[in-house]
């Protein structure tokens, strides 16, 4: 990866993040929610991965992300949804991240040991 490509990837991801936050802070919760639900980072990443490595790489990565999402992201969001009203959003997010990283590391270990998604 060249420095120019790295910079392009960085700016592209940052632009989408800024748009989502700006919509939320401007009172456009529906649009912010829609933008947050969109798979922005995978969308952008898959364009770049596809251009660099082709369709097979995108296919393998999408299978990896799909299973990884079910294993780690869904429990992360459920943890936040359940804990936020009880302990506050900041603590719930921290606990959600703990759940996410524990499950993600287990998932990555299994994927590596079994040589999945290659």
Q: CA 90 → CA 49, 95, 97, distances in Å?
A: 34, 9, 11
For the residues 82-87, what does the mean pLDDT come to? 98
Angle at 23 between CA 21 and CA 80, to 5 degrees: 50
Q: Which of 64, 114, 75 is nearest to 98 (CA)?
A: 75
Does the pLDDT at position 112 exceed 80? yes
State the Cα–Cα distance between residues 59 and 71, nearest whole angstrom: 19
Give Cα 58 to chain centroid, integer Å: 15
Q: Please, which pLDDT band fits residue 118 given cuts at 50, 70 and 90?
A: confident
- pTM for the model: 0.69
């Amino acid at each position: 990866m060249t420095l120019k490509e790295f910079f392009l990837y960085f700016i592209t991801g940052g632009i989408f993040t800024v748009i989502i936050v700006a919509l939320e802070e401007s009172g456009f919760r529906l649009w912010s929610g829609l933008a947050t639900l969109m798979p922005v980072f995978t969308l952008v990443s898959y364009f770049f991965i596809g251009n660099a490595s082709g369709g097979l790489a995108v296919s393998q990565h999408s299978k990896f992300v799909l299973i990884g999402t079910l294993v780690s992201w869904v429990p992360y969001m459920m943890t936040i949804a359940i804990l936020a009203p009880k302990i506050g959003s900041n603590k719930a997010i921290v606990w959600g991240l703990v759940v996410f990283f524990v499950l993600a590391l287990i998932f990555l270990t299994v994927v590596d040991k079994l040589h999945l998604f290659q």
